[in-house]
Amino acid sequence: EVQLLESGGGLVQPGGSLRLSCAASRFTFSTYAMSWVRQAPGKGLEWVSGLSGSGGSAYYADSVKGRFTISRDNSKNTLYLQMNSLRAEDTAIYYCAKGADSSGYWPDYWGQGTLVTVSS
Amino acid sequence: DIQMTQSPSSLSASVGDRVTITCRASQNILNHLNWYQQRPGKAPKLLIYAASSLQSGVPSKFGGSGSGTDFTLTINSLQPEDFATYYCQQSYTTPLLTFGGGTKVEIK
């Protein structure tokens, strides 16, 4: 079955940076769009960013546009999220999610998540 | 932006009950509607896609219906493992996705 393993979360001060990684396995990574979705403590799900299978097309929620950058290394089957200028409201569990088909960004599989805490 | 509104936000039910959760889109999204289950402390899991198609491996006790702006998730014969939070999500504006606020199904 599809496996997605996030890493890189932790405690960071406001204004700081963090890079999340998502190691994918058991599917042809380069074929599928991938997304990051976050969940603030006790809150609902919020789509953050999506990236096409080739990496050529990236999309962002308005709340992170200009601060976050999504990328992928298809040779390493890994998805990334570079987060800069972090704010307290970015505190959340960040999930990596696989797109359901070659052109679809909506997720069919999710990783277990990595917690990002932005606090001084 | 398309807004997704779920109701109720929470409900209490007993083992064996049938429950229905509704999701309303702020504009016509055709059938581009998915449902996810999230158990406490776990990642979301896809249950239903394209409004009514059952994801592989998901029990047939879960059912989805609707099109346009109004959608429904039905869970038959509620079991202890079904007590969770359920989210709808529109993919009409993919790659930009929007989730509903969630419905928490609790044990009565």
Q: What is the mean pLDDT of the segment spanning B46-68?
A: 97
pLDDT at position B23 is: 98
Angle at A84 between CA A80 and CA A85, to 5 degrees: 160
pLDDT at position B108 is: 87
Angle at B50 between CA B45 and CA B54, to 5 degrees: 55
Is it the case that residue A104 has pLDDT exceeding 90?
no
Q: What is the mean pLDDT of the segment spanning A78-106?
A: 93
Integer Cα distance of B91 and B95 in angstroms: 7
Average pLDDT, chain A: 96
pLDDT at position A101 is: 75
Q: What is the mean pLDDT of the segment spanning B59-82?
A: 97
In sequence order, what are the residues at sequence separation of 6 or more whose Cβ sits closer than 8 angstroms to the Cβ of residue A4?
A22, A23, A24, A96, A97, A98, A109, A110, A111, A112
Question: Distance from B6 to chain A by nearest Cα, in Å?
Answer: 12
Q: What percent of chain B has pLDDT over 70?
A: 100
Q: Are the beta carbons of A50 and B97 separated by less than 8 Å?
A: yes
Q: What is the mean pLDDT of the segment spanning B14-23?
A: 97
Is it the case that residue A102 has pLDDT exceeding 70?
no
Q: Tell which of B94, B98, B103 to mutate to test the A interface (max A CBs under 10 Å).
A: B94
Is it the case that residue A15 has pLDDT exceeding 70?
yes
Q: Show the tokens assigned to A17.
A: 């940076």
pLDDT at position A94 is: 98
Name chain B contacts of A44, Cβ cutoff 8 Å. Answer: 87, 99-102
Is it the case that residue B98 has pLDDT exceeding 70?
yes
pLDDT at position B71 is: 98
Q: Show the tokens assigned to B24.
A: 């309303």
Name chain A contacts of B92, Cβ cutoff 8 Å. Answer: none
3-class DSSP assignment, residue B18: coil
Q: Is the dihedral of CA B68, A107, B23, A46 positive or negative?
A: negative
Q: Are the beta carbons of B102 and A59 separated by less than 8 Å?
A: no
pLDDT at position A103 is: 67
Is it the case that residue B90 has pLDDT exceeding 90?
yes
Q: Are the beta carbons of A45 and B87 separated by less than 8 Å?
A: yes
- Give the amino acid at B102: G
Average pLDDT, chain B: 96
